[in-house]
């Protein structure tokens, strides 16, 4: 048996593989079969939607180009029915846009290899719950955006599973463009391909020559997506926002 | 000019498609070069000296995935396929199922590897570690592995009588590789999510090393070591223990990659216990190989291929001993997520299996080309630069990992762990450059040897014409 062809092929090759599959894959699957997988839409919550609205206000033109113009905020003086309908339309718009952005954001996160330097789980040891927030629970991972799960493998940069709401969208934009401008010690690569120039403007220089200048830099679709994904991480937790939050810069009206 | 005898003609006509073996090995070296460049780029990024910063298709994070995938599927898989083409027909005295199929598999596999590389560079990786192959390549790779299995099982199944140890390993590794690839690339993508898929990807990561790379590597060692030493393995009983112990315990260890995750603790304990059991099995294998070389009065120091093999085995023992400790919860507290793990991975993939492959290449190229190496001295440089660089990199990153773990546990600000890593990362860069220099020496030596073989064959043709 131990040296025969059938023994080696069937017992070792197929049998032991199946045993390990049973123990290490089927057993955990059976244990979690009653926890249904949430869709992206089901994971949306007030925290991440608020950040999505902030993105649309902050980078108005660029956001409208990639996700469409959000329905305007109703005036307070409007009658209650109109008010409810307009707020509802606005909510539906942001839910759709946010789900789109999160799906793309996850694929950007995977495709850019973010998960090879950033983990997404907090361990119950090594003072991690004091640094990051509550220890990871299994329900956090039962959703479409964790298929396959992104526990991560190395922490060159910090854990991101409680990153949502910790910093403002403007911080993330600057940080993705050139990480060392916000974190001087960072070794993270620059991601200028998450950004694009919005429009051009005609100016006249001191010699009277006309010049065409690129407009200000704003996130492109991938940029919005990855920022929304950052803000989604941990946004479902009860103690969201209990971290060392960095306040977002107030939006300046003259920005495009 | 000394020439080496070609493979002795064996009954049954042509047994080994030597040209294909040669092609596989050259392809493997090509991908190794790509992988080394990817590693170099990431090493430069980590000390903030990336010369290609801001260029999308040279993103170091994407090239980090090229680095690992080119090693696993380009360098190791191509080398092993070529070496199986050399060893299996010799062990079974039968050719593979079909020469045409063999050439087709060669071409298909290069499509798989290049497609994977292209997909990753373009930003379409799949979110499974060691399985970043874009999802549209997976079915092709799966079919390719099935064909590989059919092609090599055919000669093995046709032989009568007892099988040699190497064939046990090959015969088990063929279905293992096929099943592992399918499990890791399809189930977490389409069927499972969350913690269950975490357990499954852990199983996949480990099965890929344990059920594809390890058995093929050991099978080749059981073939080449006795041939080079011209003596049989020391103990057949230990060979049996080694094979069956590995087959049973190795696949059960997968979850040790994700300790302290929400995966149930009893599964984590099970994985830890089997990891420790693997160490005992590995010890029996190492004893068997040391027993085989014992009393050959330093043959292992004189012969470059044997030196590669036994260096790899010593480092294999080190990695497995390390495994038995680092997979415990105690060690994991400190070293999980640190460079310790990176050091471990390099020691396994380059220090063990890479060294074995380079040793086998050092043995095979003169036989494939029909001439001795252009320079034995350059073979020595290749060995010492690679082994030196590897050991420095291993020690350097292991210590870096310990300090990173302490920095995190002591709740220093995050930047502290980066600052303290920079000196270690600089040392790692130079260790990596030594490894790269070693491979450049090897490439140059191979080129000159090839030139020599051309001169040799044209001189022979001339002599025949006269």
Contact A12 B172 (CB under 8 A): yes
C-alpha to C-alpha distances, B49 to A236, B172, B343, B426, nearest whole angstrom: 38, 45, 21, 10
Task: Tell me what the pLDDT averaged over chain B comes to.
Answer: 93
Contact A147 B162 (CB under 8 A): no
A136 to chain B: closest CA residue: B262
Contact A110 B125 (CB under 8 A): yes
- Per-residue pLDDT, B6: 45
What residues of chain B lie within 8 A of the CB of A221, using their CB? none
Kindly state whether residue B58 falls inside one of the protein's structural domains. Answer: yes
The answer on B251 and B141 residing in a single domain is: no
- Per-residue pLDDT, A253: 59
- Per-residue pLDDT, B160: 85
Q: Taking residues B195-221, what's their average pLDDT? A: 93
The answer on B447 and B355 residing in a single domain is: yes
pLDDT reading at B242 higher than 80: yes
Contact A110 B176 (CB under 8 A): no
Kindly state whether residue B313 falls inside one of the protein's structural domains. Answer: no
What residues of chain B lie within 8 A of the CB of A111, using their CB? 62, 123-125
Contacts of residue B125, Cβ cutoff 8 Å, sequence gap at least 6: A110, A111, A113, B62, B65, B119, B132, B134
A37 to chain B: closest CA residue: B193
Q: Taking residues A110-128, what's their average pLDDT? A: 95
Of residues A146, A72, A110, the one with CA closest to residue B123: A110
Kindly state whether residue B320 falls inside one of the protein's structural domains. Answer: no
The answer on B193 and B135 residing in a single domain is: no
Coil vs helix vs strand at B7: coil
| For residue A148, cis peptide bond before it (omega within 30 degrees of 0) | yes
Residue of higher predicted confidence among A132 and B403: B403
Phi then psi for residue B22, to 5 deg, are: -60, -45
Kindly state whether residue B322 falls inside one of the protein's structural domains. Answer: no
Contact B252 A108 (CB under 8 A): no
pLDDT reading at B162 higher than 90: no
Kindly state whether residue B7 falls inside one of the protein's structural domains. Answer: no
Considering CB atoms only, which of B53, B203, B414 is closest to A20?
Answer: B203
Instruction: Give B210 to chain A, closest Cα distance, Å.
Output: 11
Considering CB atoms only, which of B193, B202, B207 is closest to A142?
Answer: B193
Domain end position, chosen among B136, B161, B186: B161
Is A97 exposed, middle or buried (CB count within 10 Å of its CB: 0-12, 13-18, 19+)? buried
Kindly state whether residue A245 falls inside one of the protein's structural domains. Answer: no
Q: What pLDDT digit, counting tens, does each position of A140-194 carry? A: 999 999 988 999 999 999 999 999 988 889 999 999 999 999 999 999 999 999 9
CATH number at residue A95: 1.10.760.10
- What is the percent of chain B where pLDDT is above 90? 89
pLDDT reading at B464 higher than 70: no
Whether the Cβ atoms of residue B176 and residue B207 lie closer than 8 Å to each other: yes
Q: The tokens 């997909």 sit on which residue?
A: B119
Hey, is the C-beta of B31 within 8 angstroms of any chain A C-beta?
Answer: no
Domain end position, chosen among B109, B141, B161: B161
Q: What pLDDT digit, counting tens, does each position of A193-226 carry? A: 999 988 777 777 778 788 777 777 899 999 999 9
The answer on B188 and B157 residing in a single domain is: no
The answer on B148 and B197 residing in a single domain is: no
Kindly state whether residue A179 falls inside one of the protein's structural domains. Answer: yes
Q: Taking residues B141-162, what's their average pLDDT? A: 93
Whether the Cβ atoms of residue A243 and residue A166 lie closer than 8 Å to each other: yes
What is the span of the domain harbouring residue A61?
Answer: 46-232
What residues of chain A lie within 8 A of the CB of B240, using their CB? 2-3
The answer on B214 and B142 residing in a single domain is: no
- Per-residue pLDDT, A249: 65
Kindly state whether residue A133 falls inside one of the protein's structural domains. Answer: yes
Kindly state whether residue A22 falls inside one of the protein's structural domains. Answer: no
Residue A80 CB neighbour total at 10 angstroms: 7
- Per-residue pLDDT, B30: 98
Q: Taking residues B254-270, what's their average pLDDT? A: 93
Kindly state whether residue B104 falls inside one of the protein's structural domains. Answer: yes
Hey, is the C-beta of B156 within 8 angstroms of any chain A C-beta?
Answer: yes
Kindly state whether residue A60 falls inside one of the protein's structural domains. Answer: yes
Compute, in degrees rounded to 10, the torsion defined by CA atoms B417, B420, B426, B432. Answer: -50
Kindly state whether residue A110 falls inside one of the protein's structural domains. Answer: yes
Contact A20 B207 (CB under 8 A): yes
Q: What pLDDT digit, counting tens, does each position of A2-40 carry? A: 888 888 899 999 999 999 999 999 999 888 888 889 999
- What is the percent of chain A where pLDDT is above 70? 94
Indicate the number of domains in chain B. 3
pLDDT reading at A245 higher than 70: no
- What is the percent of chain B where pLDDT is above 70? 95
Contact B194 A23 (CB under 8 A): no
Q: Taking residues B255-261, what's their average pLDDT? A: 93
The answer on B142 and B27 residing in a single domain is: yes
Kindly state whether residue A5 falls inside one of the protein's structural domains. Answer: no
Domain end position, chosen among B126, B161, B196: B161
The answer on B443 and B344 residing in a single domain is: yes
Considering CB atoms only, which of B45, B270, B408 is closest to A126?
Answer: B408
- Per-residue pLDDT, B466: 61
Q: What is the ipTM of this complex?
A: 0.92
pLDDT reading at B137 higher than 70: yes
pLDDT reading at B7 higher than 50: no
Kindly state whether residue B302 falls inside one of the protein's structural domains. Answer: no
Instruction: Give B360 to chain A, closest Cα distance, Å.
Output: 25
Hey, is the C-beta of B56 within 8 angstroms of any chain A C-beta?
Answer: yes
3-state helix, strand, coil in chain B (%, to 5): 80, 0, 20
What is the span of the domain harbouring residue B439?
Answer: 329-459
Indicate the number of domains in chain A. 1
Kindly state whether residue B103 falls inside one of the protein's structural domains. Answer: yes
The answer on B283 and B181 residing in a single domain is: yes
The answer on B215 and B147 residing in a single domain is: no
Kindly state whether residue A156 falls inside one of the protein's structural domains. Answer: yes
- Per-residue pLDDT, B12: 45
* Distance from C-alpha of B402 to C-alpha of B454, rounded to nearest angstrom: 52
Is B1 exposed, middle or buried (CB count within 10 Å of its CB: 0-12, 13-18, 19+)? exposed
pLDDT reading at B448 higher than 80: yes
- Per-residue pLDDT, B3: 43
Contact A16 B415 (CB under 8 A): no
What residues of chain A lie within 8 A of the CB of B405, using their CB? 126
What band does A244 get if pLDDT is binned at 50, 70 and 90? low
What band does A243 get if pLDDT is binned at 50, 70 and 90? low
Residue of higher predicted confidence among B219 and A3: B219
The answer on B177 and B56 residing in a single domain is: no
């Amino acid at each position: 048996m131990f040296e025969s062809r059938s023994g080696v092929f069937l017992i070792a090759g197929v049998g032991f593989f199946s045993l390990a599959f049973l123990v290490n894959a089927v057993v955990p699957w059976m244990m979690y079969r009653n926890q249904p997988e949430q869709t992206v839409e089901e994971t949306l919550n007030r925290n991440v939607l608020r950040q999505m609205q902030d993105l649309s206000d902050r980078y108005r033109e660029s956001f409208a180009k990639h996700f469409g113009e959000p329905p305007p905020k109703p005036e307070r003086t409007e009658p209650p029915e109109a008010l409810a309908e307009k707020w509802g339309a606005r909510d539906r718009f942001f839910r759709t846009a946010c789900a789109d952005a999160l799906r793309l954001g996850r694929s950007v996160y995977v495709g850019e290899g973010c998960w090879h330097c950033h983990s997404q789980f907090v361990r119950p040891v090594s003072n991690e719950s004091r640094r990051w927030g509550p220890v990871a629970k299994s329900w956090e991972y039962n959703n479409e955006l964790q298929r396959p799960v992104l526990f991560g493998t190395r922490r060159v940069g910090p854990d991101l599973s409680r990153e949502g709401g910790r910093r403002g969208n403007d911080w993330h934009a600057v940080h993705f463009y050139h990480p060392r401008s916000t974190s001087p010690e960072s070794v993270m690569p620059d991601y200028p391909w998450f950004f694009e120039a919005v429009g051009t403007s005609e100016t006249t220089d001191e010699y009277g020559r006309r010049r065409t200048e690129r407009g200000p830099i704003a996130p492109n679709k991938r940029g919005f997506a990855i920022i929304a994904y950052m803000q989604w991480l941990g946004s479902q937790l009860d103690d969201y926002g209990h971290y060392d939050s960095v306040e977002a810069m107030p939006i300046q009206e003259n920005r495009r | 000019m000394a020439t080496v005898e070609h493979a002795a003609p064996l009954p049954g006509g042509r047994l080994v498609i030597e040209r294909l073996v040669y092609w596989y090995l050259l392809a493997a070296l090509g991908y190794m070069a790509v992988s080394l460049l990817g590693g170099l780029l990431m090493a430069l990024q980590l000390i903030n000296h990336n010369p290609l910063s801001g260029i999308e298709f040279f993103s170091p994070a994407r090239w980090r995935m090229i680095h690992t995938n080119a090693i696993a599927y380009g360098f190791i898989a191509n080398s092993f396929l070529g070496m199986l083409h050399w060893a299996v027909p010799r062990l079974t005295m039968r050719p593979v199922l079909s020469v045409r199929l063999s050439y087709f598999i060669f071409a298909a596999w290069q499509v798989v590897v290049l497609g994977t590389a292209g997909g990753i560079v373009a930003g379409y990786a799949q979110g499974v570690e060691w399985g970043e192959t874009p999802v549209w390549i997976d079915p092709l790779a799966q079919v390719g592995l099935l064909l590989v299995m059919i092609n090599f099982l055919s000669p093995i199944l046709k032989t009568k009588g007892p099988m040699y140890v190497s064939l046990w390993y090959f015969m088990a590794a063929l279905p293992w590789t096929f099943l592992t690839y399918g499990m890791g690339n399809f189930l977490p993508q389409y069927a499972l999510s969350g913690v269950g898929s975490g357990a499954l990807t852990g199983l996949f990561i480990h099965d890929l090393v344990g059920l594809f790379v390890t058995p093929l590597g050991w099978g080749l060692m059981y073939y080449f070591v006795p041939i080079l030493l011209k003596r049989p393995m020391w103990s057949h009983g230990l060979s049996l223990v080694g094979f069956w112990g590995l087959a049973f315990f190795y696949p059960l260890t997968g979850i040790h990659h994700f300790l302290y995750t929400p995966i149930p603790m009893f599964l984590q304990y099970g994985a830890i216990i089997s990891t420790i059991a693997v160490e005992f099995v590995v010890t029996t294998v190492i004893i068997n190989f040391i027993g085989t070389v014992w009393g050959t009065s330093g043959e292992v120091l004189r012969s470059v291929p044997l030196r590669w093999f036994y260096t790899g085995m010593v480092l294999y023992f080190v990695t497995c001993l390390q495994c038995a400790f680092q997979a415990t919860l105690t060690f994991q507290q400190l070293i999980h997520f640190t460079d310790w793990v990176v050091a471990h991975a390099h020691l396994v993939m380059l220090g063990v299996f890479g060294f074995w492959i380079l040793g086998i290449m050092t043995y095979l190229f003169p036989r494939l080309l029909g001439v001795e190496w252009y320079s034995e001295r350059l073979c020595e440089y290749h060995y010492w630069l690679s082994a030196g660089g590897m050991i420095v990199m291993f020690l350097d990153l292991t210590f870096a990992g310990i300090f990173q773990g302490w920095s995190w546990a002591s709740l220093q600000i995050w930047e502290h762990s980066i600052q303290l890593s920079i000196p270690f990362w600089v040392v790692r860069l130079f260790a990596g450059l030594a490894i790269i220099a070693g491979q450049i020496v090897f490439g140059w030596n191979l080129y000159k040897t090839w030139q020599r073989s051309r001169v040799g064959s044209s001189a022979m043709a001339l002599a025949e014409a006269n």
